[in-house]
Amino acid sequence: MDSAKSDMRLYSGVAASPGIAVGRMRVIDRRRLGVDEYEVGEAGVSTEIDRLKGAIVRTRDELELLKEQLRTTIGDEHLFFIDTHLLILADERLFAEAAANIESGLINAEGALRRTLHKYREFFAGIDDPYLRERISDVETVIEKILRNMTGEPHAPISHDGGQTIIAAHDLTPADILQMDRGRIIGIVTEIGGRTSHSSILARAFELPAVVGVDGIADPLLSGSPAILDGIGGCVIVNPDRDTFLDYLQRKRHYEYVESELLKSASLPPETLDGHRILLRGNVEIPEEGASVLRHGGEGAGLYRTEMLFMNRPEMPAEEEQYRVYSAMQQAVAPHPLTIRTLDAGGDKLLDGIDLLGEQNPALGMRAIRLALSMPDEFKKQLRAILRVSAGGRVAIMFPMISGLEELRRARALLAEAMGELNDAGHAYDRDIRIGIMIEIPSAVVMADQLAREADFFSVGTNDLIQYSLAIDRTNEHLAAMFQPLHPAVLRSLRRVVETAHEAGIDACICGEMAGDPLYLPVLLGLGFDELSMGATSIPRVKQLLRRCTRERAKEIAEACLGFSTAAEVEIYLKSAITRYFAESFD
């Protein structure tokens, strides 16, 4: 790292997976193939359509083969992205559109496919939901594969160059990440993508530092340069000067030291100095994250978001597929329990196959339990799959966005029907399975006393509860400062949820982002929550602080917080209280 100071360049992006990597960049050419469009005349049309068909078949064979290879090395549960690609490939519209381009433009198959991709890009660019918008990368990957099969240029797996390698690319597919030698490849950076893209989720699951959305980082001229990837701050420094290099080495050591110290105590019991124990668990989206939850000291998963399995595909997953994936998740956290949340789609998480009639206000529209209740057969399919998993392990069901008793009763009625169907089919399941509800809507807070009589536990989704209580769109970056977890209305709601749950003798949990932020721990502990569920890597830090608190002190802090009139006052008080009592936990 002896580069001249003037060579140093900072590239900013989005932190997608935490950690710091120091190594050499290897730029992978994942950009599109340079294919020409040319005219073939009437006589050439059928040949071009045959070439297109042949390339699609070869691509399908290639994906099936890859699926087989990966199944033996990494297991079934990771293969959802290949299935996604196979589905895109099987979609008649892709072939029909490209074939129509050949016929109408009298052009070659490559040019026709490029035109098709252009149309898909325009369509996806007009989608508001960032998660869905990013799914264009799956379509691009598939079309690129077809093109490579037409031109005979293979898509080689990514390799390292002997040393500690940071891979930079325009985009990386989940397959790229799964096939990487993760011993030598220590970080990844891409020009496109967001925190919710499949690749980012996999990077986090593998604890591989990653930065995405970095303009210009895939420049081939950068290949071989020394680089630092900062997956915490969200940047990449190419050709760092000596001071920056030393500074980052120090930061990296500090980060790794703190992480390893935290991990050492990850298996200690989650209890306060005065012996009060609560449950700390992980939030998960794919089975691979289960191992990470356990390693970070989580006692199972308190929120399994099942949406991932439903997104980015034209049809709902079959009961068998759901059963397989949920079983894999259950086994990944066994012997600890798993709380499976039923489909929470709609709002900012749209599904391909469902037409929500272009809602003006999707967050207030056909979302979560409302959507599930509107398609009882699909909902029962999911319930049957979850119930079947409960036969082999500790599983609880959780309904999202319950607004009142009527919805809870309708959901429970469908659950009873699903149980009846399993009885008829001779399938086993846990007849005493725990049924919880998420408290995310102010009406549920108001009705909490009645809801508590018909639910086995409450889990507060603070992300949505704050959004709906304060009328602040949780995805609107311009309103981020007004999204206030410490708003007195939010704190009072949390107190009411805990009190009504405990009066009814049921547990009160939190699974929104608030649970994973150490700042809020004394408040949540003091209010009396029984369980906090969070991203796996947050567990050790929260546990460390928990083990330095007393329940009594936390109660005093929570009580004091509830005495203020504004979020700003609460925050000033809380920070100073934490600094006074727990200073050493925030170094």
Positions marked catalytic: 198, 511
Q: CB of 103 within 8 A of CB of 46? A: no
Q: How many residues does this entry show for the chain?
A: 587
**What gap in Å lies between CA 574 and CA 522, rounded to an integer?**
9
Q: Which is nearer to ligand PEP, 25 or 343 (CB)?
A: 343
With CB cut-offs between 5 and 8 Å by kind, which of ligand PEP, Mg ion, none does residue 175 bind? none
With CB cut-offs between 5 and 8 Å by kind, which of ligand PEP, Mg ion, none does residue 302 bind? none
80-87 contacts: CB < 8 A, separation 24 or more?
80/286, 80/308, 80/309, 80/325, 81/138, 81/173, 81/174, 81/175, 81/198, 82/175, 83/313, 84/138, 84/312, 84/313, 85/138, 85/141, 85/142, 85/145, 86/60, 87/313, 87/314
Find the part of the chain contacting Mg ion (CB under 5 A) among 16-24, 311-319, 321-329, 432-440. Answer: 432-440
Q: Which of residues 179, 463, 550, 585 is near ligand PEP by CB under 6 A? A: 463
Q: Which of residues 511, 539, 542, 557 is near ligand PEP by CB under 6 A? A: 511
How many residues line the site for ligand PEP (CB under 6 A)?
A: 10
Within positions 422 to 461, which residues make up the interface with ligand PEP, using CB under 6 A? 440, 461
Residue 266 beta carbon to Mg ion: minimum distance, rounded to whole angstroms: 27
With CB cut-offs between 5 and 8 Å by kind, which of ligand PEP, Mg ion, none does residue 223 bind? none
Q: CB of 506 within 8 A of CB of 486? A: no
Vertex 107 angle, CA 102 and 112, to 5°: 55
Residue 349 beta carbon to ligand PEP: minimum distance, rounded to whole angstroms: 8
The DSSP call for residue 38 is: -
Please report whether residue 344 would count as binding ligand PEP according to CB under 6 A: yes
Q: Which of 305, 298, 300 is nearest to 330 (CA)?
A: 300
Q: Which is nearer to Mg ion, 176 or 307 (CB)?
A: 307
What's the per-residue H, E or C state across 304-356? EECHHHHCCCCCCCCHHHHHHHHHHHHHHHCCCCEEEECCCCECCECCCCCCC
Q: Which of residues 171, 289, 464, 531 is near ligand PEP by CB under 6 A? A: 464
Residue 459 beta carbon to ligand PEP: minimum distance, rounded to whole angstroms: 8
Residue 375 beta carbon to ligand PEP: minimum distance, rounded to whole angstroms: 19
Q: Which is nearer to ligand PEP, 16 or 45 (CB)?
A: 16
Q: Which of 338, 161, 280 is nearest to 518 (CA)?
A: 280
**What gap in Å lies between CA 491 and CA 495, rounded to an integer?**
6
Q: Which is nearer to ligand PEP, 400 or 526 (CB)?
A: 400
Q: Which of 41, 56, 234 is nearest to 150 (CA)?
A: 56
With CB cut-offs between 5 and 8 Å by kind, which of ligand PEP, Mg ion, none does residue 84 bind? none
With CB cut-offs between 5 and 8 Å by kind, which of ligand PEP, Mg ion, none does residue 574 bind? none
Q: CB of 28 within 8 A of CB of 169? A: yes
Give the contact letters, 462-501, x = binds to Mg ion (CB under 5 A), - = no: --x-------------------------------------
Q: Which is nearer to Mg ion, 231 or 436 (CB)?
A: 436
Q: Which two tokens stand for residue 310?
A: 């439903």
Find the part of the chain contacting Mg ion (CB under 5 A) among 281-289, 329-337, 454-462, 520-528. Answer: 454-462
Residue 486 beta carbon to Mg ion: minimum distance, rounded to whole angstroms: 19
Residue 346 beta carbon to ligand PEP: minimum distance, rounded to whole angstroms: 11
With CB cut-offs between 5 and 8 Å by kind, which of ligand PEP, Mg ion, none does residue 511 bind? ligand PEP
Q: Which of 15, 287, 318, 311 is nearest to 138 (CA)?
A: 311
For the four alpha carbons of 207, 212, 216 and 218, in that order, the dihedral sign comes to positive
Q: Which of 518, 514, 515, 547 is nearest to 533 (CA)?
A: 515
How many residues line the site for Mg ion (CB under 5 A)?
A: 3
Q: Which is nearer to ligand PEP, 140 or 464 (CB)?
A: 464
Q: Which of residues 187, 512, 522, 528 is near ligand PEP by CB under 6 A? A: 512
Q: Which is nearer to ligand PEP, 240 or 485 (CB)?
A: 485
Within positions 296 to 315, which residues make up the interface with ligand PEP, using CB under 6 A? 303, 305
Q: Which two tokens stand for residue 502?
A: 């405990």
Residue in the block written with tokens 């149309």: 119
The DSSP call for residue 107 is: B
Residue 254: how many CB atoms within 10 A of its CB?
Answer: 12
Q: Which is nearer to ligand PEP, 174 or 512 (CB)?
A: 512
**What gap in Å lies between CA 490 and CA 129, rounded to an integer?**
26
Q: Which of residues 282, 302, 461, 528 is near Mg ion by CB under 5 A? A: 461
Please report whether residue 346 would count as binding Mg ion according to CB under 5 A: no
With CB cut-offs between 5 and 8 Å by kind, which of ligand PEP, Mg ion, none does residue 462 bind? ligand PEP
Please report whether residue 77 would count as binding Mg ion according to CB under 5 A: no
Kind of pairing, strands 235-238 and 279-284?
Answer: unpaired
Give contact residues for ligand PEP (rule: CB under 6 A): 303, 305, 344, 440, 461-464, 511-512
What residue ranges bind Mg ion (CB under 5 A)?
440, 461, 464
